[in-house]
Amino acid sequence: MSRGFVKEDDLELAGTDLPERPISALPNYVTAAGLAQLKAQAEALENEHRALSANKEDPMAQQKLGAIERDLRYLEARLESATLTQPDPNADHVVFGAMVSVEDEAGQTLQFAIVGEDEADIHANKVSWSSPLAKALIGHKVGDEVTWVRPAGNTKLVITAIQY
């Protein structure tokens, strides 16, 4: 597009009107580690906000500030609604906060921690309590076979261990 059709003010404000991050309507259950993670993220963003606030003239800094402020609003809402939930270490079935070992149909052993939505990270084997995998596991005991409903096709899992 030709520069003749772009107002300078539009370029300076680009990215400052960001949409809010969606907040889940589900209860915000968190583990102790998940709560600490949310607090650490908020603190890091507050520090970054303070550092960037000194540079009011830089349009790039203003863009970053807009994103940081949006993320801070999200984190503050999540912290305000957080319900710290700790599993009963004597439970004999899968509950929120459990580390669950399973064996799939191919005989491969997998391990998953059932955590809050904001703490979920599949690369760290942490799944949200509201995920199809966690829903399949919650309430079952060692030795139970469950069906994990997934887009790639359902698979059977046998629970081999539960840790809290």
CATH number at residue 154: 3.10.50.30
Rounded-to-integer distance, Cα 60 and Cα 67, Å: 11
Of residues 89 and 158, more confidence is placed in 158
Regarding whether 72 and 119 lie in a shared domain, the answer is no
Give the span between the Cα atoms of 61 and 76, in whole angstroms. Answer: 22
pLDDT of 116 > 60? The answer is yes
156 contacts 133 by C-beta, under 8 angstroms? no
- Name the one residue in this structure whose structure tokens are 């949310």: 38
Both tokens of 2, joined, read 């030709």
* 8-12, 87-91, 155-159, 160-164, range with the lowest pLDDT: 8-12
Q: Are residues 7 and 80 in the same domain?
A: yes
Cβ(97)–Cβ(43) below 8 Å: no
Q: How many domains does the chain have?
A: 2
Identify whether 92 is part of a domain.
Answer: no
Q: Which domain holds residue 130?
A: 99-163
Q: Both 79 and 118 in a single domain?
A: no
Q: How confident is the model at residue 13 (pLDDT cuts 50, 70, 90)?
A: low
Q: Is the pLDDT of residue 72 over 50?
A: yes
The reply to whether 79 and 105 lie within a common domain is no
> The whole model's pTM is what?
0.82
Q: Are residues 63 and 110 part of one domain?
A: no
Single residue among 84, 109, 133 that ends a domain in this structure = 84
74 lies in the same domain as 35: yes
Question: Which amino acid is present at 28?
Answer: N
Is residue 13 in some structural domain?
yes
Q: What is the pLDDT of residue 11?
A: 47
- Domain end: 34, 55, 84, which one? 84
Predicted local distance difference test score (pLDDT) of residue 5: 56
